[in-house]
Chain A
Amino acid sequence: MTDATLRNALEATRSASGHEEHAIEARGLHRTYTGGYRAVRGIDLNVRHGEVFALLGTNGAGKTSTVELLEGLAPPGAGTVRVLGHDPWRQRAAVRPRIGVMLQEGGFPSDLTAAETARMWAGCTSGARPVPEALELVGLGHRAGVRVKQLSGGERRRLDLALALLGRPEVLFLDEPTTGLDAEGRRDTWELVRALRDGGTTVLLTTHYLEEAESLADRLAIMHQGLVVTSGTPAEVTARRPARIRFRLPEEVAPARLPLSLHAAADGRHVEIRTHRLQEDLGALLRWAAEADVGLEQLDARSASLEEAFLDIAEHAGGSLPGGGPPDLGDAHPHDSGNDGTVRAR
Chain B
Amino acid sequence: MTATTTAAGRLTALGRAEITLLVRNRSSLFVALALPALMVVAVRNSLGGLDLSGTGIDPDTALMTSGTGLALVLVVHMNLVSAYVARREDLVLKRLRTGEASDAEILAGAALPAAALALAQCAALGAAGAALLGTGAPERPWLLAAGVLLGVVLMTVLAAATSAVTRTVESAQITTLPMLVLSSVGSGLVLPLALLPDRLARLCELLPLTGAMTLVRAGWTGGAEPAELATAALAAVAWTLLGVFAVRRWFRWEPRR
Interface residues of A (CB under 8 A from B): 71, 73, 92-93, 96-97, 101, 103, 105-112, 116-117, 119-128, 167-168
Contact = CB atoms under 8 A, between A and B. Distances in A.
28 contacts: A92-B102, A96-B99, A96-B100, A105-B91, A107-B90, A107-B92, A107-B95, A109-B17, A109-B21, A109-B86, A109-B92, A119-B16, A120-B13, A120-B14, A120-B16, A123-B5, A123-B10, A123-B12, A124-B9, A124-B13, A124-B100, A124-B101, A125-B5, A126-B3, A126-B100, A127-B2, A127-B3, A127-B4
B44 interface: no
A120 B2 CA distance: 18
Given A112-B20, A123-B10, A106 B3 contact: no
The main secondary structure of chain A at its interface with chain B is loop
- For the residues of B in contact with A, the DSSP-based class is helix
A116 B14 CA distance: 11
Nearest to A105: B91
B20 A116 contact: yes
B1 interface: yes
Nearest to B90: A107
A128 B94 CA distance: 20
Contact of B90 (A73, A101, A109): A109
B94 A97 contact: no
Counting chain A CB atoms within 10 Å of each CB, which of B16, B96, B97, B101 scores highest? B97
A13 B45 CA distance: 77
A93 B95 contact: no
A106 B10 contact: no
Interface residues of B, number: 31
A168 B90 CA distance: 26
Nearest to B257: A33
Given A112-B21, A124-B13, A106 B95 contact: yes
Chain A to chain B: the 4 pairs with minimum beta-carbon distance, closest first: A123-B13, A107-B91, A107-B95, A127-B1
Interface string B5-25: 100011011101100110011
Nearest to A117: B17
A93 B10 CA distance: 13
A81 to B, nearest CB: 15
Given A124-B99, A125-B100, A168-B1, A103 B17 contact: no
Contact of B1 (A93, A97, A105): A97
B5 A108 contact: no
Given A71-B98, A124-B96, A119 B13 contact: yes
Contact of A123 (B16, B25, B102): B16
Contacts of B96: 107, 124
B87 interface: yes
B10 A124 contact: yes
A120 B21 CA distance: 12
Given A97-B4, A116-B20, A168-B1, A123 B92 contact: no
Contacts of A127: 1-4
Contacts of B90: 107-110
B21 to A, nearest CB: 5
A106 B91 contact: yes
A97 B92 CA distance: 19
B150 interface: no
A73 B98 contact: yes
A167 B4 CA distance: 10
Contacts of A97: 1, 4-5, 100
Given A73-B98, A105-B91, A116-B20, A123 B14 contact: yes
A127 B2 CA distance: 5
Most chain A C-beta atoms within 10 Å of own C-beta, residue among B4, B10, B17: B17
B93 interface: yes
Given A117-B17, A119-B16, 12 more contacts: A73-B97, A73-B98, A92-B102, A93-B102, A105-B91, A106-B91, A106-B95, A107-B87, A116-B20, A120-B13, A123-B10, A124-B100
Nearest to B11: A123
A81 B2 CA distance: 27
Contact of A108 (B1, B92, B98): B92
A73 B94 contact: yes
Contacts of A93: 100, 102
A124 B17 CA distance: 12
A120 B17 contact: yes
B91 A128 contact: no
Nearest to B106: A124
Interface in B1-56: 1-5, 9-10, 12-14, 16-17, 20-21, 24-25
A68 to B, nearest CB: 9
A107 B100 CA distance: 16
